[in-house]
Chains A and B, each alone.
Chain A
């Protein structure tokens, strides 16, 4: 490494005897220290993976994984999920007209209602999601188009980050909240009605709190100048171009859910990982232990259709789902666990046979290696 071939010491006529160069050669004419480290004799654990030690591991993995997998699979199967597409692509779908006649300049909202039937009752708390397809929330231009310091009530409220372009300013006024993510906030309104046996519509109460991460709602997102008098706080800014109302009117009824800390807004701001995704919209709380949250029967979904997706060949869905300890319905984990567990178990058996055979043969023939 330091093979400087031109040694200073020897040039001026004092042959230094041991002509050690810099670097590794500093230890000279001295007996090296007899320490375990320097002699590479540190006490060491030397594990040896043999068939003998590995085989039980295979069986153990198999024996643990299979029950977990079965548990996961059963749990996932027990989760009730109902999904309905209300995009309105087909002529016969109720939202066809709304989807067809969509224009940004419409002042009167277009509404449509979709009827559906739940064959099974939903027992526990039901979570209502909206799902979008072919919507690239993970596109780089989109992901970075936000200003977290603005959303945190910071000073950049009136001077949003350059990343927000082209949704940074409108008519020379800074946009709050700026950026493409905020601008494209999902603004369909979904309402759910249960149709009685006698045909009357009963509105199902939808809770709009507790749908966002707690830390997001309480720390990451903050309104400028506290939650009181948001109109004043957002003075000098303008609403995102595609919004119908400014940010301080997202939920005028509840000051704890208005402005940047509106939970619908926060949920939207957490960009999805894949182009097909769902986001939590509302929670339907269980009222009593005797009646199911959503009994089986006929339902109507009323939609205020504000969100265009057909232009990029997207789809909109409404999903009703119960939740278990493992989250939403997803058979993947259960299947994967069962598969891996079975493979391990199977391999264990195969290996045991091979190992056994080989060992006996080896012992009898005594092959010298």
Chain B
């Protein structure tokens, strides 16, 4: 891929700079939106039913199913249309944004969308880059510019970007081409090459890296203006590539719904099949099909027999289609949407520090919060505060502790070190001042860096008298103890990366000495320094690490002129490489950073988050397995785990790290194999089989295991040399982990975190996973897990933006899961089961009636009742229930984490409870129908001898039905607020009122006045009253019985499939 700079020739293959994030246009909105909506299986099903009703002569009018469908489709379309309109507006704002483009030496104002690849764009301070640009010219003297990428990756610090070296100041005469890689979404990777053509000279080649690339969406800071050439435009910019489609997460409840739906679909089809078959069997008897009083129309007589069979089948489908309720989807959506407000409204999630509460990015996963089995948490910033404080340092084996004592003016106290070490001290502090990428924030005294450790170190050095004054055109200035300014020329920065786990700078002092300072994790520094120095420091480092401090080792080395020249050449060459640049750079880095001498080590404290330990304990008590995934070193992470009480004193630690692998002195692979088997034996085979629903007391009697693994070992486990071993190791590893109470994975790269989450997610039983993190490095695991939680921490907002829920502090996780998650799960599970139940006992009498009406598809209920049942009569109580129910109050839920185990593994939506609800529905349906059937064996039910007809029959059944399902819900309601009262009694009153009203008037638009005074006449009959009361009571009797029967059976009964909310009250009683 090549793009010309300042050349007239523009290849047509590049797209323009228009960002299109909207899905629809005015023209294609209707068809496209409808198409999208009907791709949803439920909508499609209702559409089919509606079409059948329109085409075939069916028992119910198309309105009964068309109206609700129309309503659902319209509401969704309006919502999506509005969202898309917002996107259009946003797109337009971006696309029409005026930018300055240099063309033939003139400055032209253009709309942003007209920028083409190769255009030279001028951007001023605080403006956003309109596309991905290669920085050619900056108004700053040092050929740099500062940008902030807060809107891209959430990092609010200023990043330095560099102009392409050696481009001429006069852009007009610049003639160059740029070769760069195909667009790719990684924000931090860019490889390119610029050929600069000068008159009659060999074209000069300059390498381009991410430091030359200004990304669309980033903002120019602290720089007056820059010029850059567009390389990626429009949908090819890294920002656009990054934000395409965050895959939608679906909750386990939704999967359950779909499974139940399938069952009901089968019931529906089999009902229709049974009826169709019986109809033709029945009709084959002489005189039944067409008695003299009921002749067929000419059209019916003419229709082909098989076609008629088919249309009969469809008619039955239509008649029974209410068994799959369109309104359930609306109610579930509403419940989720409205329910999520309670999370944002919760004042317990409000953090006064950042003045923010919880944030809900998706409401689809509310109930998933109650199903979490594995919690993956980041350490830094999540378990700990990411509020670094320099605690102590160790220079050449002597410990220096910073005391916050004002008595000593320099604040530097030597505890056990002799004074002659001054030279080392100063070297150490200089190293701290030089070896970093910290910037001095200009307006106020302060530092900005991507890593808070660095700030802590620079601040620590400042306290000891060495102040870093800033970096100006590659010169670092340091104010030393004697208030002299020392100048160092910054020659190279060997950037930090998580694989090397160290960074270095090469500086040249005024004296002309070339120095390399390196700081990094002990494991990466120790092998690169002289071994005799190590021992003295190692002790301190390890002690600090066990105390939970973050330790870094500092080393230095003098570079001779030759060495430097060699290193310089190597670095330049590697940076120019177009392919495998990373590997080449890495090789050079490794080559340079050898043979250093160790100066000392630092210890930085990272305090635990408030109530971190309590939260973790509660999560473990709730049966969740907590895994800590961190990039930190093992000792630090381990001490954090101890501090968080993830590991207890009696926890037996199973370690699988590079250190344990190297213990035996044998090949790592063999040792790995051995250890895996050993741990497996210990943790899996010797442990008694784990049953579902383990109680806390049960697990206490057994040995707890904690498992520790590091990144290097993990990659060995996952990417073993042989294919067969790999899957076997993976299995062993998983089994060990699943039997451990806590797992610590340290030294993880971000991608490895996601890998682990994915591995657990796809393991046997598909456990629900939750990831919580605060930094950009947690995004991958937040996106991978079922539920991603972002902490509004210090490391930018990227985690928050990619999360499903964001909370200000870790401690809020407890309430989010134990209280909100639990309640939402119970609510939605009950909602789903109840919906299926109430529609089953709604349609079953209709089905049974077919046996008494010659399988003629005669509906039992009036069309108004058929339509209104799910929309008006029974929808509001369940919605109110599913928003307000607290079968156990929040305080109890928070105090008793074990309650969370009650609903683990989708307990209320498994086949057991589903069967229970289905049987209940069948029982009620049978009762309603046959109760009224036997009453109607003598239809003279009024005291004046007059008789009731078929519509009275249906109305009695329907009245019993509405009252029973509403009262059933009332029985299940454990938390009666005034809203519940209002809605439950209100719906019943509304039903009675509506029935009177509907039957009280001759409706001119109705073809048949079927219900005229049917309801009023029904109420005038004592027998009807008696049968209604009898049937309602009889239906609810088993419910009440269950309550009483369940109690004596004690806690075991709760593990039995039939979990109804009623059973929870025992728990409550016991507390």
Interface residues of A (CB under 8 A from B): 1-13, 15, 18-34, 38-40, 42-51, 54-55, 57-58, 61, 65, 68, 72, 125, 127, 129, 135-149, 152, 161, 163, 165-167, 180, 183-184, 210-213, 215-216, 219-220, 242, 267, 270-275, 277-280, 283, 308, 311-313, 321, 323-330, 332-333, 336-337, 340, 343-344, 347, 351, 354-355, 358, 367, 369
Asked if B361 and A25 sit within 8 Å, CB to CB, the answer is: yes
Contacts of A308 in B (CB 8 A): 292
Q: Pick the most buried of A24, A166, A328, A333: most chain B CB atoms within 10 A of its CB.
A: A24
Q: Does B93 contact A (CB under 8 A)?
A: yes
Q: Which residue of A lies closest to B1034 (CB)?
A: A340
**Beyond A8-B86, A8-B90, A32-B344, is A1–B1009 a contact (Cβ under 8 Å)?**
no
Asked if A55 and B947 sit within 8 Å, CB to CB, the answer is: no
Q: Specify which of B87, B150, B886 is in contact with A6 (CB 8 Å cutoff).
A: B87
Asked if B856 and A141 sit within 8 Å, CB to CB, the answer is: yes
Q: Please report the C-alpha to C-alpha distance between residue A219 and residue B724 in the assembled complex, in whole angstroms.
A: 85
Contacts of A15 in B (CB 8 A): 148, 150-151, 156, 219
Asked if B943 and A326 sit within 8 Å, CB to CB, the answer is: yes
Asked if B355 and A29 sit within 8 Å, CB to CB, the answer is: yes
Closest chain B CB from A297 CB (angstroms): 23
**Beyond A6-B21, A139-B858, A324-B943, is A40–B248 a contact (Cβ under 8 Å)?**
no
Q: Specify which of A7, A34, A180 is in contact with B294 (CB 8 Å cutoff).
A: A180
Closest chain B CB from A122 CB (angstroms): 13
Contacts of A20 in B (CB 8 A): 359
Asked if B800 and A273 sit within 8 Å, CB to CB, the answer is: no
Contacts of A267 in B (CB 8 A): 947
**Beyond A12-B94, A149-B1007, is A44–B886 a contact (Cβ under 8 Å)?**
yes
Q: Does B139 contact A (CB under 8 A)?
A: no
Q: Specify which of A1, A31, A147 is in contact with B340 (CB 8 Å cutoff).
A: A1
Asked if B1002 and A32 sit within 8 Å, CB to CB, the answer is: no
Q: Specify which of A180, A220, A275 is in contact with B1009 (CB 8 Å cutoff).
A: A220
Contacts of B979 in A (CB 8 A): 42
Contacts of A3 in B (CB 8 A): 246, 248, 361-362, 804
Q: Please report the C-alpha to C-alpha distance between residue A277 and residue B852 in the assembled complex, in whole angstroms.
A: 12
Asked if A135 and B293 sit within 8 Å, CB to CB, the answer is: yes
Contacts of B248 in A (CB 8 A): 3
Asked if B345 and A27 sit within 8 Å, CB to CB, the answer is: yes
Asked if B341 and A24 sit within 8 Å, CB to CB, the answer is: yes
Asked if A68 and B297 sit within 8 Å, CB to CB, the answer is: no
Closest chain A CB from B1060 CB (angstroms): 11
Q: Please report the C-alpha to C-alpha distance between residue A183 and residue B292 in the assembled complex, in whole angstroms.
A: 10
Asked if B939 and A278 sit within 8 Å, CB to CB, the answer is: yes
Closest chain B CB from A72 CB (angstroms): 7
Contacts of B1030 in A (CB 8 A): 65, 333, 336-337, 340
Q: Does B941 contact A (CB under 8 A)?
A: yes
Q: Please report the C-alpha to C-alpha distance between residue A270 and residue B1011 in the assembled complex, in whole angstroms.
A: 11
Asked if B940 and A136 sit within 8 Å, CB to CB, the answer is: no
* Sample (21) of A-B pairs whose CB atoms are under 8 Å apart: A1-B364, A2-B83, A5-B243, A8-B93, A12-B97, A32-B350, A38-B347, A40-B890, A47-B976, A49-B1062, A129-B940, A149-B1007, A210-B944, A215-B1017, A271-B949, A272-B949, A274-B939, A312-B292, A332-B937, A347-B1041, A369-B1070
Q: Please report the C-alpha to C-alpha distance between residue A152 and residue B127 in the assembled complex, in whole angstroms.
A: 77
Q: Please report the C-alpha to C-alpha distance between residue A144 and residue B61 in the assembled complex, in whole angstroms.
A: 12
Q: Specify which of A72, A270, A313 is in contact with B947 (CB 8 Å cutoff).
A: A270
Please encode chain B, from 316 to 343, with 1 for each CB lying within 8 Å of some chain A CB and 0 for all others.
Answer: 0000000000000000010011001111
Q: Please report the C-alpha to C-alpha distance between residue A160 and residue B696 in the assembled complex, in whole angstroms.
A: 76
Asked if A212 and B946 sit within 8 Å, CB to CB, the answer is: yes
Asked if A19 and B797 sit within 8 Å, CB to CB, the answer is: yes
Q: Which residue of A lies closest to B933 (CB)?
A: A274
Q: Does B543 contact A (CB under 8 A)?
A: no
Q: Please report the C-alpha to C-alpha distance between residue A39 and residue B340 in the assembled complex, in whole angstroms.
A: 12
Contacts of B288 in A (CB 8 A): 312
Contacts of A283 in B (CB 8 A): 945
Contacts of B292 in A (CB 8 A): 184, 242, 308, 311-312
Asked if B293 and A183 sit within 8 Å, CB to CB, the answer is: yes
Q: Does B1021 contact A (CB under 8 A)?
A: yes
Asked if A325 and B293 sit within 8 Å, CB to CB, the answer is: no
Q: Does B975 contact A (CB under 8 A)?
A: yes
Sorted nearest first, the 9 A-B pairs with minimum C-beta distance are A8-B90, A13-B128, A184-B293, A328-B940, A273-B953, A127-B945, A38-B345, A312-B291, A140-B856
Contacts of A367 in B (CB 8 A): 1050
Asked if A46 and B975 sit within 8 Å, CB to CB, the answer is: yes
**Beyond A2-B83, A24-B363, is A61–B1050 a contact (Cβ under 8 Å)?**
no
Q: Please report the C-alpha to C-alpha distance between residue A22 and residue B87 in the assembled complex, in whole angstroms.
A: 12
Asked if B362 and A1 sit within 8 Å, CB to CB, the answer is: yes
Residues facing A in B961-998 (CB within 8 A) are 971, 974-980
Contacts of B375 in A (CB 8 A): none
Closest chain B CB from A73 CB (angstroms): 12
Residues facing A in B1004-1044 (CB within 8 A) are 1006-1009, 1012-1013, 1016-1017, 1021-1023, 1026-1027, 1030, 1033-1034, 1037, 1040-1041, 1043-1044
Asked if B1026 and A333 sit within 8 Å, CB to CB, the answer is: yes
Q: Specify which of A38, A210, A279 is in contact with B342 (CB 8 Å cutoff).
A: A38
Q: Which residue of B lies closest to A6 (CB)?
A: B21
Contacts of A215 in B (CB 8 A): 1012-1013, 1016-1017
Contacts of A68 in B (CB 8 A): 1026
* A13-B151, A46-B975, A327-B941 given; 5 more Cβ-contact pairs under 8 Å: A1-B336, A184-B293, A273-B952, A325-B943, A328-B945
Residues facing A in B91-146 (CB within 8 A) are 93-94, 97, 126-128
Contacts of B59 in A (CB 8 A): 140
Asked if A23 and B363 sit within 8 Å, CB to CB, the answer is: yes
Contacts of B1062 in A (CB 8 A): 49
Q: Does B89 contact A (CB under 8 A)?
A: yes
Q: Please report the C-alpha to C-alpha distance between residue A5 and residue B246 in the assembled complex, in whole angstroms.
A: 7
Q: Which residue of A lies closest to B1067 (CB)?
A: A369
**Beyond A4-B87, A48-B1065, A327-B938, is A213–B1017 a contact (Cβ under 8 Å)?**
yes
**Beyond A270-B949, A283-B945, A347-B1041, is A136–B97 a contact (Cβ under 8 Å)?**
no
Contacts of A183 in B (CB 8 A): 293
Q: Which residue of A lies closest to B942 (CB)?
A: A327
Asked if B294 and A136 sit within 8 Å, CB to CB, the answer is: yes
Q: Which residue of B lies closest to A181 (CB)?
A: B293
Contacts of A180 in B (CB 8 A): 293-295
Q: Specify which of A24, A42, A148, A344 is in contact with B884 (CB 8 Å cutoff).
A: A42
Q: Specify which of B87, B93, B148, B243 is in contact with A12 (CB 8 Å cutoff).
A: B93
Q: Does B497 contact A (CB under 8 A)?
A: no
Closest chain B CB from A34 CB (angstroms): 5
Residues facing A in B356-388 (CB within 8 A) are 356-357, 359-364
Q: Does B197 contact A (CB under 8 A)?
A: no
Asked if B1033 and A340 sit within 8 Å, CB to CB, the answer is: yes
Q: Please report the C-alpha to C-alpha distance between residue A340 and residue B980 in the assembled complex, in whole angstroms.
A: 30
Q: Does B308 contact A (CB under 8 A)?
A: no
Contacts of B933 in A (CB 8 A): 274
Contacts of A333 in B (CB 8 A): 935, 1023, 1026-1027, 1030
Q: Please report the C-alpha to C-alpha distance between residue A91 and residue B493 in the assembled complex, in whole angstroms.
A: 118
